[in-house]
Amino acid sequence: MLKKFRPITPGTRQLVLPQNETLTKKPGRRVTVDPCKSLLVPKTRTNGRNNHGHITCRHKGGGHKRKYRIIDFARTKENIPAKVASIEYDPNRSSYIALLHYVDGEKRYIIAPEGLKVGDTVQTSSEPPFAVGICMRLKDMPLGSIIHNIEMRPEQGARLVRSAGLSAQLMARSGGYATIRMPSGEVRLINEECRATFGQVSNSEHNLRVEGKAGRMRWKGVRPTVRGTVMNPVDHPHGGGEGKSKGNHPQTPWSQYTRGFKTRSLKKSSKLIIKDRRKK
């Protein structure tokens, strides 16, 4: 559920925020539960700078302090049931996370799929049930399954389909590879020994969120972005000119063409991509 705020201040006039109804609250209170301390580590920020101190990613800096939640993307504890203890907010990602209590006493965080509730039991196995939150190798999953948290190499840990609201579909299997339709529309092959998780990633309304004011973006660590057309020629290829002028050849401040110009690295292989996401 989304909440549209009454415009009692300029900052709330456009504000639309999720109500986070699925998050686990403290008993008798409206505040969410505290994160598991054993799974928290300090998070140092680079503010977009490299090891020389030069800005390599613009528009980053400031923001509220965060602690990183250690997420189990590999799901290597096979055939050991775990109970969902809580569904929690994670400031470092768009989806919610779920705290698992394994029967052997260990605790781990995972990306929470849509529909997973406190008290549910999940595990990594090669046998049914094919329920939401169950992790399994692609070779053991039924065709047509809706999945997320997909590995690119066996035992590497999930790399694909981890953002809020995303899901992929297992279409076919042949020759040791599974055919996956990605959220972008791309169809690619992935080794069938790789693991994935059933279900769709939680917090599907994340893309409908409207921050309402610039200050809220500053809390998130996002600094102001200035258009190239309002700069001077020394600062940007779009800059200068009399009056308003458009950038006829869209490009970055370093003259790298954008909007249609392919920038994929030549070092990356495309042999496992069956259908490109741009091709209809």
pLDDT for position 245: 86
Q: Which residues fall within 8 angstroms of residue 59, CB to CB, at 6 or more apart?
A: 48, 222, 223, 224, 225
Q: Which of 108, 133, 113 has its CA nearest to residue 123?
A: 133
Angstrom CA distances, 20 to 24, 64, 109, 209, stand at 9, 20, 18, 12
pLDDT for position 30: 87
Q: Which residues fall within 8 angstroms of residue 151, CB to CB, at 6 or more apart?
A: 74, 157, 158, 159, 160, 190, 194, 195, 196
Length of the chain: 280
| Tokens 């660590």 belong to residue | 221
pLDDT for position 262: 84
pLDDT for position 280: 63
Across-strand partners of 101? 83, 107
Percentage of the chain surpassing pLDDT 90? 87
pLDDT < 50 stretches in the chain? none
What pLDDT digit, counting tens, does each position of 148-203 carry?
999 999 999 999 999 999 999 999 999 999 999 999 999 999 999 999 999 999 99
Number of other CB atoms surrounding residue 50 within 10 Å: 10
The model's pTM is 0.91
Cβ-count burial 89-99 (b if 16+ within 10 Å, e if not): bbeebbbbbbb
- Contact, 165 vs 203, CB < 8 A? yes
Angle, CA of 274, 146 and 158, to the nearest 5°: 75
Structural domains in the chain, sorted by start: 2-208 (2.40.50.140), 231-271 (no CATH)
DSSP code of residue 208: G
And the tokens for 52? 């020389």
